[in-house]
Structure formats: C-alpha cells, structure tokens
Structure 1
Amino acid sequence: MDISSPQFWLALLQIVAIDIVLGGDNAVVIALACRRLPDDLRRKGIMWGVFGAIMLRVVLIFFAISLLQIPYLKLAGAVMLLWIGIKLLLPEPDDGGHNIDGGTTLVSAIKTIIVADAVMSLDNVIAIAGASKDSMGLIVFGLALSVPIIVWGSKLVMKLMDRFPFVVVLGGALLGWIAGDMVATDVAFKDMLHAVSPHFKWVLSVGGAVLVVLVGKLLAARMLKAQRALTDNS
C-alpha cells in the first residue's frame, strides 16, 4: 500500500484506534498477574510478560494474514469482529471480567500473563490484520504501538472510556466497519461484489458499523433491565 494514498492513512488511523480500544485489558491482566510479586520482581514480571505477549501476537498475526487469504475465512473473521464489537458495548460484570490469579513467583506470573493474553489478543490481531489491507508495514506498526499502550497507556485509556462512553461506541462501530470491509474483500466474494457495484464495500462497511451499535445497544439495554429486575426482587 502506497504511503501517499488516503487508504494508507485511513488504515493507519484504524489501527491506532484498534490498539487504544482493545489494548487496555491486556495491561490490566499484566497488573493483576504481577500484583502478588515482591516489589523487586514486579518490573521483571511486567517486562517478560509484555515480551511474551508481543511475541505471541507476532505468531498470531502471521497465521491470521495467511489464513485470511483462504476463501470464506475473512467472512469468519468478520463474524468474530462483529461479535467482539458488540461485546465491547455490553456492560461488564461486577469483577470487570478479569478473573486472574496473581502468581507468587516470577515464572507463574509470566505463565499467567501469556496464557491470558493468548485468549485476549486474538481480537486485536484479527482486527489489525483486517485493517492493514495486507500491508506488512502497517501490521508491524500496529504491533509496535500496542507495546506502549499495554505498558503505560491502559489506565489513561480506561479512564477516558469511563468518562466518555461514546469512545467505546465509536470503537465498536470501527470494528463493525472493518468487519464489513473484510467481507467485501474476501476472495470468495470480492469479484462478485465489485461486479454488482464498485462502491458495494462501503455499503457493507457502514452496515457493519450500524449493526454493531444497534445490536450492542439493544443487548446492553436488555442486560441492564434484567439486572435491575434481579436487584428489585432481591
């Protein structure tokens, strides 16, 4: 992808937003996993935990890029992104969704971080792969940017999301937009959709963004209503 093209800069902005929206939880996991370590080991635990998490992302992104070239797998990735975007808009459980046992040794803390990150990083990897338009430079940038966000930026990002809820909504809409674009660029559909209309991918992108926000808001409202009903009955 040419660095002078508008598509490059749009993809770059999308990747930055993805890292901000999806990167905060990884830092929370690292903090929880290292909380029982002695002070002199916490910094080492964070350093090695982040290193392991980033290496894991490199492996995952390699397989994601390769697999997304197979027909219908971008469709599967798009469905996953739609669900991730919807889940982003749902209210979190009382424990914040992080059931992480802190390790009492450096090795156990690092293991906890890497195992948890293997589960949590899949959404970030698929989103970056979809937004990068197969540009290795953008993928490397996305992975590199995730490091400072994970290490230093998570508390700021979470405070921003708590104070301005529309940031979370925009993040969910972005994932829906990328999901629509992934469907439009799937090997199985790309030529057919382009034959229907060269602008059809924009329709799918907008539709994906709207779908995530509408379904996410609807499910969130139902969940809050059910929680209030349980509270009133107890």
Structure 2
Amino acid sequence: MDFSSSQFWISLLQIIWIDLLLSGDNAVVIALAVRSLPENQRKVGIWLGAGAAVGLRIAFALVVTYLLAVPYLKVIGGLLLFWIAVKLAKGEEEAHADIKAADNLWKAVRTIAIADAVMSLDNVIAIAGAAKGHPELFIFGLLLSIPLIIMGAQLLTSIIERFPILIWIGAALLGWIAAEMILGDIAVLQWLQVNMPTWVKAVSTDVNPLGVGPANLPHYVSAALGAALVCAIGYVLKRKPVNQPG
C-alpha cells in the first residue's frame, strides 16, 4: 500500500478511532468482572482478560469472512452477551464470599473470555472493514488494541470503586451491544428485508454480505431497549432475597 496516499492515512485514522471505541467495550467487561477480586489479583485478571480479548480477535481474524455469512451466529452471541451483562449488573451474592480467591479469579477470567468471544467478532469486522483488505493496517489495528484494553481496564477498575453507578452504565452498554448484534445477524436481516423492508437500509458488503443493515430508528430503539432490559432484570435479581436454608 502507498504510505503517502491519503487513503492510507484515512484508513489508519479510522482504525485508531474504531480501536478507541471498541477496545473500551472489552475494557468495560474486564473492569466489571474483576471489580470484586482482591487487589493483588486484579492486575492478573486484567492481563489474562486482555490476553483473551486479543487472542480471540486474532483467531476471528483468520475466519472473519466465513463467520460473517453464518446465520444466527450473532443472535447466539448477542444472547450470551445479554446474559453476561445481567450477571455483571446483578453482582455476586454475599453467600459466595467464602469462595477461595483463586476460584474467583478464574471465574472472572471465564466471564471475560465468554464476553470477549462475543464482542471480538464485531471488533474484527469493524477493523477489517476500515483496513479495506490491507493486511498491514489490519495487523496494526489488532496490535493497537492490546495497550488500549489493558490501560482502559485498569482505569475503569479504579473508577468503579469510587462510583458504583458505573457498574450499571457498563452493564447497559453491554445490553446495547447485545441488541445491536442480534439485529445485525444475517438471518434476522433477511427476515426484516422480506417482512419489514423499512427496517433495513443499504450498507457496504464489508459490513454485511447481504448488503443491508438495520435502519437508524429500529437500530437505536432496539439497542436502547436492550440496555434498559439488562438494567431492569439486573435490578430485580439484585433485590431478590437469597433463599435461606430450611
């Protein structure tokens, strides 16, 4: 690629912007998942979580073209992410406070890995679209995500301790992303294209092989409902009393 061309620098700036936005999603998951760990285990959880996020991005990068065309993949991923968002909003039960620290650490890493597996697909798709088929830009985007995820997670973890309301904001963000993923699934878009054509609009085939995506209004309404539903379910479950042994 011609490094002196304007297209190169436009693509580069797009990738940096995408990384700044999407790495924040992964950082939110990591920060929420490790918030209840002992101080000496948080950094371990952050590094393991960031490693899982980057490793999954690389793995998805190898098969992204195939994955884009798999119907219902984003529906399943979105539902998984929705479940994780509710779980993070609800928090851990006090009855589990005596669980060994090592178990808590690996439980947090497992939560991070599942969420990263869901979100990394969209991250890779976005970076691949901005790179426009140029592998050097694509690799740069993946490498840039490493420090952004780690620094973002460390910063968010310290802030969450001071402002617990951010837990709900982070969970709502995951609910928003989950709804976006479900609405952007190729099978869902095919159904909308036939039955509710005003709900879709033309997009680049780099974004979706069908060449269509959700229209702006249904997109934002669905995403907002996803965020609200996560908070509502999390609130109800958090207030539900723990069953006492009889």
Distance in 1 (alpha carbons) for counterparts of 2:30 and 2:120? 13
1:137 aligns with 2:136: yes
User: What stretches of structure 1 of length at least 5 have no aligned partner?
Assistant: 88-92, 163-171, 173-177, 190-203, 228-234
The equivalent residue for 2:59 is 59
User: What stretches of structure 2 of length at least 5 have no aligned partner?
Assistant: 93-100, 157-165, 170-179, 181-201, 230-246
Alignment of 1:26-175 (within 5 A): 26-64=26-64, 67=66, 76=69, 97=85, 99-100=87-88, 104-153=103-152
- Distance change (3 Å), C-alpha of 1:151 and 1:212: farther
Q: Secondary structure at the match of 1:147?
A: helix
1:127 CA displacement: 0.9
Matched residues, number: 172
- 8 Å Cα contact 1:11/1:132 also seen in 2: yes
- Distance change (3 Å), C-alpha of 1:137 and 1:29: same
1:153 CA displacement: 3.5
- 8 Å Cα contact 1:54/1:143 also seen in 2: yes
Distance in 1 (alpha carbons) for counterparts of 2:106 and 2:222? 40
Q: Secondary structure at the match of 2:123?
A: helix
Distance in 1 (alpha carbons) for counterparts of 2:53 and 2:207? 28
- Distance change (3 Å), C-alpha of 1:58 and 1:220: closer
The equivalent residue for 2:7 is 7
Percent identical among aligned pairs is: 45
TM-score, L = length of structure 1? 0.56
- 8 Å Cα contact 2:129/2:207 also seen in 1: no
1:117 CA displacement: 0.6
1:59 CA displacement: 0.6
- 8 Å Cα contact 1:29/1:98 also seen in 2: no
The equivalent residue for 1:169 is none
TM-score, L = length of structure 2? 0.53
The equivalent residue for 2:206 is 182
Distance in 2 (alpha carbons) for counterparts of 1:133 and 1:212? 23
> Residue type matched to 2:206 in 1?
M
